[in-house]
């Protein structure tokens, strides 16, 4: 749903300016304005204080819920000022999420206290002396903070800013939010948006400040040496947008994805006195994304971070889902965490400098989504091979979006890989072994593409799919130009696969297709068949 079709809901503490700013925004957008408190008062023929006094707070909350239901069912988008405590009701939040965008207005408690004191008629604070009122405001703000944090973005409405300034900040943020394509709601983590579009980096400051991330001097950009030179212009723009933030450059390449590189980043941050309120912006592919994410997860027990992926693979896969890690000599991604970013910004323009082999690596994950989850998407890929390879902007936007949607859906059900998420590992068990045995000379995606060939062969050998289905996947991979063979010692591969994270309770499990668009978890697969499946990629059969 486009922003232009979404109702805009203003939330925030009482006296944060919801009605005043909301009305001004509605005039600018030529939409009907609704102040929920006023409508309730009008309908009940009583002031809010009287409703609280005569019918109790729960009756008032029920009136709010009924009204929001009515608004969210109305197809014409509006601008709505919510009551101070409306978002304490989770039913209301779910209703709003479907068709709306939530903007939080905020001001510091002292400003709120001064504004509230002018009338002193708010039911929850009426009659209190200024200092008691301030203390109560602080307590209520702390209590309601988790609910206000549900807002898509925040805008400050302090006394220092004119109404015009606050309104234009709201509109500037809304413009950026037009590129929100996917909303990730992990099963146990916090939610975050994925933005997909063109020319997003040069406008990213409205997002960063709208998310109320770090003050400008405590952003840190992480990138790698290749991206820094290939994407120098975007890096400079990002630096400017993030208040001239420092840049930390990792050496490019999977071999540097380790604790030693990470330690250099920690040292860099500590020496520059980055605090818990800092925010890490990662502008790079999956290698730096995973490392910077793990740094964000662990630096001073966790700081916020934003993924700005620059490879196709990072856009469609590694930036979404919150897995962050570094490699250990004993295995890939063995040291890590689940840690969600605050936002993912896929500016498709950065892909213009991505080398073809890296683009291909990302396509492996895209093909994977078709095989594991969505046959229609697989068909789309089959029908658009040339447009994809020529990086047609419309097709790119669609494949990035659909891939992120699928990943978000899977992660939304199973963030910590207790069940469904394991399907994302299709091709990975074999792929990781290929990567490891080739000393990470292959990029991850190419390893996965080869791994998918082996997995599909195993599925055919175990009678899960037909030979035709295996060939259909092979034909698509071939059409994209993926390598068809790799030199692997099957004994070593068998051993390498044994340490993979996908090994459960000493039992090797494989994600295998049962048809295009559906996979299942297979345990107790005969070792001889697994070994034989490697023939799918070995130059002359088993080596
Ligand atoms: N966290 C997850 O859920 C997850 C999922 C999949 C993969 N991964 C990890 O992702 C990593 C692979 O990511 P990747 O394929 O993005 O590799 P990468 O980060 O190494 O990027 C590939 C290469 O392209 C360069 N590059 C990146 N963007 C560029 C651009 N726009 N222009 C020019 N050059 C550019 C990089 O410097 C690098 O040399 C692996 O470490 C893998 O384990 C993680």
At 193 the pLDDT is 93
Whether 280 and 147 map to the same domain: the answer is no
Share of the chain above pLDDT 70, in %: 95
- Ligand 1 within 6 A of 222 CB? no
Structural domain count, the chain: 3
Q: Phi, psi (5° rounding) for residue 341?
A: -75, 165
Q: What's the gap in Å between 79 CA and the centre of ligand 1?
A: 41
At 317 the pLDDT is 95
Whether 59 and 167 map to the same domain: the answer is yes
- Ligand 1 within 6 A of 411 CB? no
Residue after which a domain boundary falls, among 121, 144, 178? 178
Q: For residue 509, is it within any domain?
A: yes
Q: What's the gap in Å between 99 CA and the centre of ligand 1?
A: 35
SS3 (DSSP) at 27: helix
Q: Which residues are catalytic?
A: 301, 323, 365, 407, 417, 421, 425, 428, 432, 444
Whether 113 and 126 map to the same domain: the answer is yes
Q: What's the gap in Å between 49 CA and the centre of ligand 1?
A: 57
Whether 40 and 125 map to the same domain: the answer is yes
The whole model's pTM is what? Answer: 0.89
Query: Alpha-carbon distance 103 to 436, whole Å?
Result: 47
What is the span of the domain harbouring residue 489? 375-536
Residue after which a domain boundary falls, among 320, 354, 388? 354
Tell me: pLDDT of 501 over 60.
Answer: no
Q: What is the mean pLDDT of the chain?
A: 91
pLDDT band at 232 (very low <50, low <70, confident <90, very high): very high
pLDDT digits (tens, 9 = 90+) for 408-429: 999 888 767 777 788 999 999 9
Q: For residue 366, is it within any domain?
A: no
- Ligand 1 within 6 A of 223 CB? no
CATH value at residue 248 = 3.40.50.1970
pLDDT digits (tens, 9 = 90+) for 316-371: 999 999 999 999 988 888 999 999 999 999 999 999 999 999 999 999 999 999 99
User: To 5 degrees, how large is the angle CA 480–CA 333–CA 412?
Assistant: 75
- Ligand 1 within 6 A of 234 CB? no
Q: What's the gap in Å between 319 CA and the centre of ligand 1?
A: 10
Atom of ligand 1 nearest to the CA of 224: 37
pLDDT digits (tens, 9 = 90+) for 292-307: 999 999 999 999 999 9
Tokens 């209703």 sit at which residue?
Answer: 95
Whether 307 and 396 map to the same domain: the answer is no
Q: Whose CA is nearest to atom 37 of ligand 1?
A: 226
Whether 269 and 342 map to the same domain: the answer is yes
Q: For residue 8, is it within any domain?
A: yes
At 189 the pLDDT is 65
Mutate to test the pocket of ligand 1, among 293, 326, 436, 444 (most ligand atoms within 8 A of CB): 444
At 513 the pLDDT is 96
**Mean pLDDT confidence for 308-314:** 97
- Ligand 1 within 6 A of 354 CB? yes
Q: For residue 543, is it within any domain?
A: no
Q: For residue 365, is it within any domain?
A: no
Tell me: pLDDT of 291 over 70.
Answer: yes
Q: Whose CA is nearest to atom 44 of ligand 1?
A: 318
Whether 162 and 232 map to the same domain: the answer is no
**Mean pLDDT confidence for 36-60:** 92
pLDDT digits (tens, 9 = 90+) for 158-188: 888 899 999 999 999 999 998 988 888 887 6
Tell me: pLDDT of 542 over 60.
Answer: no
What stretches of 286-392 show up as alpha helix (H) in DSSP? Answer: 286-298, 312-313, 356-373, 375-383, 385-389
CATH value at residue 428 = 1.20.1090.10
Mutate to test the pocket of ligand 1, among 253, 314, 424 (most ligand atoms within 8 A of CB): 314
- Ligand 1 within 6 A of 415 CB? no
Q: For residue 295, is it within any domain?
A: yes
pLDDT band at 314 (very low <50, low <70, confident <90, very high): very high
Residue after which a domain boundary falls, among 132, 151, 178? 178
At 54 the pLDDT is 92
Tokens 């609280």 sit at which residue?
Answer: 52
Whether 219 and 74 map to the same domain: the answer is no
DSSP state of 321: S
At 543 the pLDDT is 46
At 332 the pLDDT is 82
Q: Whose CA is nearest to atom 6 of ligand 1?
A: 318
Whether 195 and 70 map to the same domain: the answer is no
CATH value at residue 12 = 3.40.50.300
Query: Alpha-carbon distance 393 to 408, whole Å?
Result: 22
Whether 299 and 171 map to the same domain: the answer is no
At 99 the pLDDT is 87
pLDDT band at 498 (very low <50, low <70, confident <90, very high): confident
Q: For residue 203, is it within any domain?
A: yes
Whether 458 and 514 map to the same domain: the answer is yes
Tell me: pLDDT of 31 over 50.
Answer: yes
Q: For residue 334, is it within any domain?
A: yes
- Ligand 1 within 6 A of 210 CB? no
pLDDT digits (tens, 9 = 90+) for 120-158: 666 677 778 888 889 999 999 998 888 888 899 999 998
pLDDT digits (tens, 9 = 90+) for 81-128: 998 788 888 899 989 988 899 999 999 999 999 888 877 666 677 778
Whether 381 and 527 map to the same domain: the answer is yes
């Amino acid at each position: 749903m486009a922003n232009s079709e979404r109702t805009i809901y203003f939330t925030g503490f009482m006296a944060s300016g919801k009605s005043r700013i909301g009305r001004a925004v509605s005039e600018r957008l030529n939409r009907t304005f609704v102040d929920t408190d006023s409508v309730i008062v009008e309908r009940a023929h009583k002031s809010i204080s009287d409703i609280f006094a005569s019918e109790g707070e729960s009756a008032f909350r029920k009136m709010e819920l009924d009204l929001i239901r009515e608004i969210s069912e109305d197809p014409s988008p509006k601008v709505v000022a919510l009551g101070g405590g409306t978002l304490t009701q989770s039913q209301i939040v779910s209703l709003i999420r479907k068709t709306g965008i939530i903007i939080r207005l905020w001001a510091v408690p002292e400003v709120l206290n001064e504004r509230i004191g002018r009338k002193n008629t708010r039911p929850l604070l009426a009659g209190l002396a200024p200092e008691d009122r301030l203390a109560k405001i602080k307590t209520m703000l702390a209590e309601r903070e988790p609910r206000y944090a549900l807002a898509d973005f925040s805008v400050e409405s302090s006394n220092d800013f004119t109404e015009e300034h606050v309104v234009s900040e709201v509109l500037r943020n809304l413009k950026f939010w037009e590129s929100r394509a996917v909303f990730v709601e992990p099963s146990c983590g916090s939610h975050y948006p994925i933005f997909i579009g063109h020319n997003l980096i040069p406008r990213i400051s409205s997002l960063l400040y709208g998310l109320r991330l770090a003050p400008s001097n405590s952003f840190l950009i992480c990138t790698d040496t290749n991206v820094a030179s290939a994407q120098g212009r975007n890096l400079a723009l990002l630096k400017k947008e993030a208040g001239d933030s420092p840049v930390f450059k990792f050496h490019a390449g999977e071999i540097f994805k380790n604790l030693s590189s990470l330690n250099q980043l920690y040292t860099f941050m500590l020496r520059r006195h980055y605090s818990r309120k800092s925010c890490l912006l990662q502008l790079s592919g999956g290698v730096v994304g995973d490392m910077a994410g793990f740094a964000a997860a662990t630096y001073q027990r966790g700081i916020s971070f934003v993924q700005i992926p620059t490879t196709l693979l990072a856009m469609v896969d590694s930036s979404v889902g919150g897995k962050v890690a570094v490699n250990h000599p004993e295995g890939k991604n063995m040291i890590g965490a689940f840690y969600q970013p605050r936002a993912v910004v896929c500016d498709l323009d950065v892909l213009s400098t991505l080398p073809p082999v890296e683009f291909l690596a990302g396509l492996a994950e895209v093909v994977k989504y078709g095989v594991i989850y969505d046959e229609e998407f697989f068909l789309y890929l089959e029908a658009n091979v040339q447009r994809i390879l020529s990086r047609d902007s419309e097709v790119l936007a669609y494949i990035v979006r659909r891939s992120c949607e699928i990943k978000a859906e899977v992660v939304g059900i199973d963030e910590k890989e207790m069940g469904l998420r394991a399907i994302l590992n299709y091709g990975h068990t074999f792929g990781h072994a290929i990567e490891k045995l080739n000393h990470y000379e292959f990029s991850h995606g190419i390893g996965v593409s080869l791994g998918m060939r082996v997995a599909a062969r195993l599925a055919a050998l175990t009678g899960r799919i037909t030979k035709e289905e295996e060939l259909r996947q092979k034909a698509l991979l071939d059409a994209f130009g993926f390598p068809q063979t790799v030199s692997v010692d099957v004994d070593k591969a068998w051993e390498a696969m044994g340490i993979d994270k996908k090994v459960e309770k000493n039992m090797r499990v494989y994600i295998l297709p049962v048809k295009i668009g559906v996979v299942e978890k297979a345990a107790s697969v005969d070792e001889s068949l697994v070994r034989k499946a490697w023939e799918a990629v070995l130059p002359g059969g088993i080596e």
